[in-house]
C-alpha cells in the first residue's frame, strides 16, 4: 500500500470533523476561563453554529465527491456512506442543543459548559465511526462516543436516579466493549490486518481454511457487543434505567444519535467483514454463509427485539421508560433490512433512521416540556394536554402515529419499505412479527393520545413552550408529515446523492475474491 506524505492529502474533505474537534477544544477552554457565575448559554449557541457549519461542509462534500477518498493508509474514508450518517448525527446534535438551551436554565445540570463540549466530543466520535475503514479508528470513535455519553448521563450529580443510570451505563457498556474488542481481536488474528476491506477479502480464506469456528466466534462476540449500542436483545436492559435517569435532551441523543452510530458500526464492521463469506462445498445450490446462516441470527435478534420491546412497553407508566422499550422495538425493525438485503437496502435503513430521528426528537421535546411543567414523568402528565396546549397535543399525536407506523407519516413509509423487503424476500415469519408487534404498539402509543384528548387535566394551567423546544417540535412535525406524503423525495435523494457504494449483487457472487 502506498504511504503518502501528510501534506499530500486534501484535508478539506475532513473539515466537518476538524470543525467539531476545534469547537470542542475552544468551548472547553472558554469554559475553563469563564467565571463561575457567567452565563454559559453562549457556549451552546457557539456549539449550534459550529454544527450547522459542519453540516454545510458535509453537503459540500456530497456535491464535490466523485469517488471515496482515503486518509492515513486507508484508516479513514470520506464516502457517500459516511456522509449520509454524518448528516443524521449533525441533525440529531443540532436538535439536542436546541432542547438543551432551555433545559439547562433550570439549574439541574450545574456544569453546563462540560455538557456542551461533551456533546461535541460524542458527535466527533460518531463521525469518526462513520468514516472509519480500520478497526483502530473504529474503536477510537466508539470509545469517544461512549465515554462522552457516560458522563452526559450522570451530569445531574445531585440526583440519585441519574447517578444510578450512569453507573449501570458504564458497567454494561464496559462489558459490551470487552465483547466487541474480543471479536475484533479474532478478526485481526484470522486475517492479519485491521483494515476492514482487507478483512473482507481475507476472512473468507480463513473460513475455508479450517477456521470456520473461530470466524463464527468472532461474529458472535461482535453481535453481543453491537447489540448493546443499538439496544437490541439480548443487551437491551440498560436502556430503560438510563433513559429514565438521563436529562431528557440526552435521552433523545441516546435514542437517535447513539443508536444511529451503532447502525453505522453494524454497516462498517459486522456487515462489511462477513458479507463475503462463501462455502464452496454448498455450491451451486447455495454457499453464501451470511445470507443462509448468519442472517438467521440477525433475524432472531430483530424478532425478539420487536416482541420484547413492544410487550414490555405495555407495562410502563413512566413515559421515558416506555420510549426506551419502544426504541428496542424500533431497533428490531431496523435490523430487518440487514436480513433481506434488497437492492434498496441502504436507502431503506437511512430513510427509517431519518424518520426515527424526527419523530423521536419531536416526541422527547414535548415530553421534556410537559413533564417539567407537571413535575412528573408519569403518563398522567399528559392528561388534558389538548385543552392546555393544542399545538403540543397535535404535534405529539403526529409523532406517536409515526412511531406506530400509521399513514400518512414518515414512520409509516419507513416501516412499509422494510416490511415489503421482508415480504419480497419471502421471509413471511418476520413479516408477520412486524405486523403483529406494530399492532401491539398501538395500545401504548394510543394510551398517551387517550390521555391528551379524553382525560381531564389541570385546564387552568397552560403549557408554555420555550423557543428551542418549539422550533424542534415544529420542524419535526412538518417534516414527519411532509415525508409521509412525499417519501419518494427522500428516497430519491438518498439513492442519487448518498448511495452507499455497496454493490450487493457483486459482493454476493459465489467465490468472489
Query: Which pLDDT belongs to residue 500?
Result: 53
* Residues ≥6 apart with Cβ < 8 Å to 18: 11
Q: What cell numbers appear for 268 in the block?
A: 462498517
> What does the DSSP 8-state code read for residue 132?
B
Q: What cell numbers appear for 149 in the block?
A: 455519553
What residue has cell string 433523545? 252
What residues in the chain have per-residue pLDDT under 70?
Answer: 1-7, 281-287, 459-460, 499-513
Query: Does residue 456 contact residue 383 with C-beta atoms inside 8 Å?
Result: yes
Query: Does residue 77 contact residue 70 with C-beta atoms inside 8 Å?
Result: yes
**Model confidence pLDDT, tens digit, residues 94-142:** 999 999 999 988 777 877 889 999 999 999 999 999 999 999 999 999 9
> What does the DSSP 8-state code read for residue 77?
E
List the alpha helices (DSSP H) in 196-318. 196-207, 212-229, 238-245, 248-253, 259-265, 272-274, 289, 295-313
| Backbone dihedral angles phi then psi of residue 150, each to the nearest 5 degrees | -55, -45
3-state secondary structure 165-182: HHHHHHHHHHHHHHHHHH
Question: Pairing mode, if any, of strands 76-78 and 69-71?
Answer: antiparallel
For the chain, count helices (H), then strands (E): 23, 2
Handedness of CA 214, 287, 293, 232 (dihedral sign): positive
Domain boundaries, the chain: 318-513
Q: What cell numbers appear for 234 in the block?
A: 439480548
**Coil, strand, or helix at residue 310?**
helix
Beta bridge partners of 77: 70
> What does the DSSP 8-state code read for residue 158?
T
Amino acid at each position: 500500500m502506498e504511504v503518502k506524505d501528510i501534506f499530500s492529502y486534501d484535508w478539506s474533505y475532513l473539515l466537518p470533523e476538524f470543525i467539531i474537534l476545534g469547537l470542542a477544544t475552544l468551548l472547553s477552554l472558554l469554559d475553563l476561563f469563564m467565571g463561575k457565575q457567567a452565563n454559559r448559554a453562549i457556549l451552546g449557541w457557539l456549539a449550534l453554529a459550529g454544527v450547522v457549519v459542519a453540516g454545510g461542509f458535509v453537503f459540500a462534500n456530497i456535491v464535490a465527491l466523485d469517488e471515496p477518498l482515503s486518509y492515513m493508509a486507508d484508516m479513514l474514508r470520506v464516502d457517500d456512506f459516511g456522509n449520509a450518517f454524518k448528516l443524521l448525527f449533525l441533525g440529531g446534535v443540532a436538535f439536542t442543543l436546541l432542547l438543551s438551551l432551555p433545559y439547562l436554565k433550570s439549574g439541574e445540570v450545574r456544569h453546563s459548559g462540560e455538557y456542551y463540549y461533551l456533546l461535541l466530543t460524542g458527535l466527533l466520535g460518531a463521525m469518526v465511526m462513520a468514516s472509519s475503514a480500520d478497526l483502530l479508528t473504529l474503536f477510537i470513535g466508539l470509545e469517544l462516543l461512549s465515554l462522552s455519553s457516560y458522563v452526559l448521563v450522570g451530569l445531574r450529580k445531585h440526583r440519585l436516579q441519574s447517578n444510578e443510570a450512569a453507573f449501570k451505563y458504564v458497567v454494561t457498556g464496559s462489558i459490551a466493549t470487552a465483547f466487541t474488542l474480543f471479536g475484533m481481536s479474532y478478526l485481526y488474528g484470522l486475517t492479519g490486518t485491521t483494515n476492514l476491506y482487507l478483512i473482507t477479502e481475507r476472512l473468507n480464506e480463513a473460513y475455508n481454511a479450517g477456521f470456520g469456528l473461530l470466524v463464527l466466534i468472532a461474529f458472535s462476540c461482535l453481535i453481543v457487543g453491537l447489540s448493546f449500542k443499538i439496544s437490541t436483545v439480548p443487551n437491551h436492559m440498560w436502556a430503560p434505567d438510563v433513559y429514565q435517569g438521563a436529562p431528557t435532551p440526552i435521552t433523545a441523543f441516546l435514542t437517535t444519535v447513539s443508536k444511529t452510530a451503532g447502525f453505522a458500526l453494524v454497516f462498517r464492521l459486522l456487515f462489511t467483514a462477513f458479507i463475503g463469506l462463501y462455502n464452496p462445498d454448498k455450491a451451486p445450490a447455495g454457499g453464501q454463509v451470511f445470507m443462509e446462516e448468519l442472517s438467521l441470527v440477525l433475524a432472531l435478534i430483530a424478532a425478539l427485539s420487536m416482541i420484547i420491546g413492544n410487550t414490555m412497553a405495555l407495562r410502563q407508566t413512566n413515559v421515558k421508560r416506555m420510549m426506551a422499550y419502544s426504541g428496542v422495538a424500533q431497533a428490531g425493525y431496523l435490523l430487518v433490512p440487514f436480513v433481506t438485503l434488497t437492492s434498496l437496502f441502504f436507502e431503506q435503513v437511512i430513510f427509517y433512521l431519518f424518520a426515527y430521528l424526527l419523530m423521536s426528537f419531536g416526541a422527547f421535546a414535548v415530553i421534556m416540556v410537559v413533564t417539567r411543567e407537571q413535575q412528573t414523568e408519569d403518563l398522567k402528565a399528559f392528561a388534558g394536554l389538548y385543552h392546555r396546549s393544542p399545538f403540543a397535543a397535535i404535534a405529539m399525536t403526529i409523532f406517536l402515529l409515526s412511531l406506530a407506523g400509521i399513514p400518512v407519516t414518515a414512520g409509516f413509509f419507513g416501516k412499509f419499505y422494510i416490511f415489503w423487503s421482508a415480504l419480497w424476500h419471502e421471509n413471511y415469519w418476520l413479516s408477520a412479527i412486524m405486523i403483529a408487534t406494530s399492532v401491539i404498539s398501538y395500545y401504548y402509543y394510543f394510551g398517551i393520545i387517550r390521555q391528551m384528548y379524553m382525560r381531564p387535566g389541570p385546564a387552568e394551567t397552560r403549557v408554555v413552550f420555550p423557543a428551542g423546544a418549539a422550533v424542534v417540535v415544529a420542524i419535526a412535525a412538518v417534516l414527519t408529515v411532509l415525508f409521509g406524503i412525499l417519501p419518494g423525495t427522500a428516497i430519491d435523494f438518498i439513492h442519487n446523492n448518498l448511495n452507499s457504494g455497496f454493490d450487493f449483487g457483486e459482493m454476493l457472487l459465489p467465490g468472489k475474491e
